[in-house]
Amino acid sequence: MTTIQYQVEKNSLTSPPSYFARVSPRSILDIDDVAKAINSHNPTIPVQTAKSVIEKFAEEVGIQLANGNTVKISSFCSWVVTLGGRMDNPTDPLPSGAFDVIAKPSAPFKSSVAANATYERIGYAAKTPSIVSVMDTNTGIQNYVREGYGLEINGTQMAWSQEDAAQGVYLLSSAGNDMRQTNIVSSTPSKAFIIPELDSNAGPAGAASVEQILSIATRYTENGEVRVGTFKTKLRTTNAISDTNKKIFIIDDQTSSGATISAYTGSQVDARLLATIGGDGVLKLSVGTLAGVFGDPVSVAANGSYVLSGLASDVTVTVATYATLYANVVSYGKYMQEVLDLSPLTP
């Protein structure tokens, strides 16, 4: 088990000055990270199943709170609605902004965490931009980027000067070209909104340049060195499927992704293609809408053609090199999602 890391900081507001411990998180997990962690500790629970249960749990808690109930899980946490603000008379309406939701971890849960925790005092790391999460603002899809559409970047220490050519936000494509972003909608040290510009050159072996690496470069003093923070997860942009590009799930500089879209006769549609590997080690493919409504997953265990339902017309995926496809999905944490611009293919 790893340690809880902390740094000791000075509290200058006390007299004489005192010191306090500030926890330094090793990482900040989003819903995908938690779902993958559940799968790693409980291999019989597929990643997508874990994610769906978390999403439905959060939705149900919200419904119950809105219905005037309190949700209490004695071994974990309670969620309660509170109403704050001041009313000068008992007949006054509720103040604006009175509503709030409070989550309270239970005493048994806190005791359990404390009993298993060990601590490690660390020094101060070099100040560097840290990117925590990235989302396409139009679809809400995490780790997805599209040219000309809003991209939300959350993190810490992300302040940069656009006037300094060495600083800024960069997107490095799988074709090897680093694009410094110029359309910055807004930015703070913890959140930025940009309208991305992507490399228009083809990716490896003529495939779309669908893999992007996001980084932020900044100086914290006028003449200080440039510090670069790179997002831990590679972003994927829309893969336009046509007669000239049928490759799916291609990564890095590979000449083959191991699989292609080999047949689709429906009208043009934007869709999601999902590849997951569950605790049983079985690779499954499914296709669905941008809203995340997927058809039944299809198990893939060898080279061959597989028909996926989930759109108005079926999609046929042909796996030519099963080992390559499987390795690619493993490299993405056994959960790989691609957004397709899917056009009819010539039979």
Residues 155, 134: contact at Cβ < 8 Å?
Answer: no
Cα gap 93→302, rounded to integer Å:
66
Question: 149 with 187: CB under 8 angstroms?
Answer: no
pLDDT in tens, 148-158: 999 999 998 99
| DSSP three-state, residue 235 | strand
Whole-model pTM above 0.75? no
Residue range 118-122: average pLDDT? Answer: 89
Burial of 66 (0-12, 13-18, 19+ CB in 10 A): exposed
Question: In the chain, where are the structural domains located?
Answer: 4-30+66-121, 130-236, 239-342
Q: State phi, psi for 4 to the nearest 5 degrees.
A: -85, 115
Report the pLDDT value the prediction gives residue 202, as an integer from 0 to 100.
58
236-293 pLDDT tens trace = 999 999 998 899 998 876 667 799 999 999 999 999 999 999 878 899 999 999 988 8
Quote the pLDDT of residue 284: 95
CA atoms within 13 A on the CB side of 105: 8
- What's the CA gap between 42 and 32, in Å, rounded? 15
Q: Which of 195, 207, 219, 211 is nearest to 259 (CA)?
A: 207
**208: pLDDT confidence band, cut at 50, 70 and 90?**
low
Question: Residue 91 is encoded by which pair of tokens?
Answer: 């007949």
- Specify the CATH class of 130-236 in words: mainly beta
Is residue 144 scored above 70 in pLDDT?
Answer: yes
pLDDT digits (tens, 9 = 90+) for 174-194: 777 789 999 999 999 999 999
User: Is residue 119 within 8 Å of 4, Cβ to Cβ?
Assistant: yes
Are the CB atoms for 219 and 225 separated by under 8 Å? yes
Q: How far is 344 from 268, CA to CA, in rounded Å?
A: 6
State percent of the chain over pLDDT 70. Answer: 95
Prior bond to 46 cis, omega within 30?
no
- pLDDT at residue 204 is higher than 70: no
**Buried/exposed 94-130: b ≥16 CB within 10 Å, e otherwise:** eeeeeeeeeeeeeeeeeeeeeeeeeeeeeeeeeeebb
